[in-house]
Structure 1
């Protein structure tokens, strides 16, 4: 039986982050959270099992897309779902990248997580 995926949510908006966390946890997803790039970097470096990264592109202490590139250097096959209220050009995107426009449906994020997360 496959284990539940572990997801890191990087989102500075508390309401968006908490709603997404609650929804994913109720859907049998293990969730870690970060409200900024600094916390996210620490979790990305120090969490042994990380299956999907859900990242806002506009964070108070940096760019989510730049953090995504840093994350990809450390974990080349880590799937990243970028969330944005603005347009986003992912010219450097890999087959592991997705973009979800805000506002998004929680079930759509869950579907992407299930699609991208490796089965253990």
Structure 2
């Protein structure tokens, strides 16, 4: 039996970056549910979109990554989360990890291989 691909809810407001990430992750065997910001990602979830991992930028319009994580972890405390940001929060990064699920923070630019490995790691596959 073939395992179904991991479903990644990806919130990224930079259009070009989102397209490149979606293509690379799809090529690596993931199913990607793209959202152009946190509010769009939350709308997908509210509409019933199923996903296994959250991949989010921190700085986005309307609803940022920090608030998106908080709202999704309020529903699923064990949700695996990977944050990608060009502006690391420094000492405040611990406040992003407010659930019992796996969490990783990556600083942009991110090599696709490293992102793929990190997603698989937080999903418990490696």
TM-score by length of 1: 0.89
In 2, Cα distance between the equivalents of 1:47 and 1:25? Answer: 21
Residues 11-34 of structure 1, C-alpha deviations (whole Å, 9 max, x = no match): 000111000000011111101000
Which protein has the bigger strand share? 1
Query: Is there any run of 5+ residues in structure 1 with no aligned partner, and where?
Result: none
User: Equivalent residue for 1:34?
Assistant: 35
Match for residue 112 of structure 2? 106
> Does the alignment pair 1:91 with 2:97?
no
Regions of 4+ moved over 3 Å: none
Distance in 1 of aligned mates of 2:78 and 2:46: 14
Per-residue deviation, 1:48: 5.0
8 Å contact from structure 1 (residues 51, 118) kept in 2: no
Instruction: Specify every segment of 5 or more residues in structure 2 that has no aligned partner in the other structure, as ranges.
Output: none
Match of 1:63? Answer: 64
How many Å apart are 1:73 and its aligned residue?
0.4
Give aligned pairs, total: 119
CA contact (8 A) 2:104 2:122 kept: no
| Normalised TM-score (structure 2) | 0.86
Q: Distance in 1 between matches of 2:124 and 2:49?
A: 14
Higher relative contact order (CA 8 A, sep 6+): 1
The structural deviation recorded for 1:43 is 1.5
| Residue-by-residue CA offset, 1:2-53 (whole Å, 9 max, x unaligned) | 2210001100001110000000111111010000122111122334531111
- Which residue in 2 is equivalent to 1:44? 45
